[in-house]
Amino acid sequence: MKTSMDARPQESAKTLSAELADHLCERIRNDRLAPGDRLGTEADLADQFGVSRTVVREAIGSLRGLGVVTGRQGLGLCVAEADNFSSVLRKALVPQVASPQGWRELQQLRAVIEIGSIALAVELITAEEIIRLQTIVVEMQRVMQKINQDPAGSSKAYKELDCLFHQTILAASHGNFVKQFHGVLLDYFHAGDLYGHPPTSKGLRDHELIANAIADRNTDAATKLLTDHLKPQLKAPCE
């Protein structure tokens, strides 16, 4: 079906290409297109939308840069693989990690995502996910018992379990976009050692209480406990 984009003849080619890019994104969303699904060739799109191939090339170029679409020989333009989103997001966040203020803003974003998703996680979490969360806490307890004998190794192991704990909560909300976004943030924190402070008994207790509240499906308690747990990290200086 041909879609006209010539209702506003005064539009520049650049504006038309942006408009076309928006139309293509809307098609991907509305038609629930999956990675690898075909959108058409340059000629197909030019004919469908009533624009020049130059406009199509500019629109495709911007969408390629965002990791939304890709070209496949013999097929033309296709929806990009889902993992391209993470790759593009990582690149977009690079400027943030170059300054202390950028790190602080990433921490704030992480808190917003986690606290905003906790109610949904409590509602949707499965029995298997609850067991996984509790198992992580038990492993964190075991690691803490060895902190004096092997400070560096235990701190590293605890940090990895800490990330896994929070990833498990986000996964329980069953929102793939949110999970990917949060996963990228945690990867940055892990690489930048934002979890580099030595593990504490209070931090461990926080995780125990959060896991118990989620297991009890107590949304109010889980939200308050998680919020209190994240507050020190938001206030900590970024050096």
Tokens 């492993």 locate to 139
Tokens 């209702």 locate to 7
User: Can 13-81 and 87-235 be said to share one CATH topology?
Assistant: no
Instruction: Please state at what angle helix 219-235 crosses helix 100-124, rounded to 10 degrees.
Output: 170
23: number of Cβ within 10 Å = 16
CB burial of 46-71 (b: ≥16 within 10 Å; e: otherwise) equals bebbebeeebbebbbebbeeebbbbe
In the DSSP assignment, the letter for residue 237 is P
Q: How far apart are CA 238 and CA 194, in angstroms?
A: 8
The answer to whether 113 and 170 have CB atoms below 8 angstroms apart is yes
The answer to whether 154 and 147 have CB atoms below 8 angstroms apart is yes
Residue type for position 214: I
Q: Which fold has domain 87-235?
A: Four Helix Bundle (Hemerythrin (Met), subunit A) (1.20.120)
Domain parsing of the chain, residue ranges: 13-81, 87-235
One digit per residue, pLDDT tens: the chain, 239 residues?
A: 456 555 444 344 447 888 898 888 888 878 878 888 889 899 999 999 999 999 999 888 888 876 788 887 767 888 887 555 566 566 566 666 666 777 778 888 888 889 999 999 999 999 999 999 999 999 999 999 999 999 989 998 998 899 899 989 988 988 776 777 777 777 766 655 544 467 899 999 999 999 999 999 999 999 999 999 988 766 644 33
The answer to whether 173 and 120 have CB atoms below 8 angstroms apart is yes
Q: How far apart are CA 182 and CA 23, in angstroms?
A: 28
CATH number of 13-81: 1.10.10.10
Q: How far apart are CA 158 and CA 201, in angstroms?
A: 12
Q: Kindly report the pTM of this predicted structure.
A: 0.60
